[in-house]
Amino acid sequence: MVGPSQPLPRLFGMLPEELCAHLQDHGVRANEGEARRYLAHWISHGQTGVPRKPPSRKFLDGARDLVDHGHLEVVERVTDPTDGFTKYLFRSPDGALSEAVRIPLAKEGCFTVCLSSQVGCAMQCDFCATGRLGLTRNLAPWEIVSAFCTVRDEAPGRVTGAVFMGQGEPFHNYDAVIQAARILSDPCGGRIAKKAITISTVGLVPQIRRFAAERHGYRLIVSLTSALPERRRALLPVAGRFEMEDLAAAIREYSEVAKGLVTVAWVLLGGVNHDQAEVDAIRALLGDVPLRVNLIDVNDAREEAEGGYRRATEVERNLFFDALQALEVPIVRRYSGGGNEKAACGMLAASHGATASPATRAE
């Protein structure tokens, strides 16, 4: 049996075969069919207690005694009245705070959930509030899945997707994020189509290559923001340590596996990264890769005098858009909502006091 000093494994971090194996390892007669029904009851349907078609009594007793069924605590939920984005603040058992956002989609009654992968972030991106927190710790798969289930269960409609674009760098917590994505896409888990799960990265080259090699089927977005090496190092200090040619090669590897357009995100910073030199650099690096460019307006609550970034003017944005047309790739201006409640891209900073010790910041 599980010893008194050993923490119980978390139900919301398990796949059916893992739950079944765990119970069997502790002397419980269990089969995978029972595990599937049990997980579907708790995760897919958001129910508690005993499933309508219950497993055996031994299975139920074993699951009760050998698995922790706990959820994250909801500290706060706030909705931006201008666009319906709803931000959730969660507290983990150790007191760590993390956030998630429910995002309305264009199709009425449908939503996606923006999920965090870490408490804070070590990437130190110069325009991102989360990066200024430093990294406290990684989120475990169960914490990510618990956040998703809570947001989904309270949605006034159907949740059809999940995006790992909240606090943290998903590929800096690679194994936990992939495990969470597997649970979210499992028929007994979140029941989200793999192609409706998107993982974002600032460009961690080894992990992009691993992701491509493992062929998971989830979508990938690479936050490029600048294709000029010196500028990118200034804006994305950690990710900028990788040579641009190596990043381009990793994106190319993923493109060959994905067999479709590769999305690169571009946080548009007024007066900074919208010149012709950027367009020329994109063409030189990735001209042979089928791309989609997502333009995202920066969200920086700081004033420029405090080191903050302003949004590009309409003139700056239009000139850059016109210059990008020469690449002959789809260009999308992505709406980043929830700004009034600090729920927009780059603004998630667990404002109720999540902090990081200096030792856990990026090396």
Q: Which residues are catalytic?
A: 99, 345
**Residues 343, 120 contacting (CB under 8 angstroms):** no
**Residues 332, 76 contacting (CB under 8 angstroms):** no
First CA to last CA across the chain, in angstroms? 40
Q: What Cα–Cα distance (Å) separates residue 309 from each residue in 127, 269, 298, 301?
A: 7, 6, 7, 9
Backbone angles phi, psi at 178, to 5 degrees: -65, -40
**Rounded to 5°, angle at Cα 36 from 31 and 42:** 130
Angular region, 347: left φ>0, alpha ψ -120 to 50, beta rest:
alpha
* E strands in the chain: 73-79, 86-91, 97-104, 110-115, 118-120, 135-138, 158-164, 197-201, 219-223, 262-268, 291-297, 331-334
Angular region, 271: left φ>0, alpha ψ -120 to 50, beta rest:
left
Question: What residue type is 177 in one-letter code?
Answer: V
SS3 assignment, position 155:
coil
Strand pairing partners for 118? 138
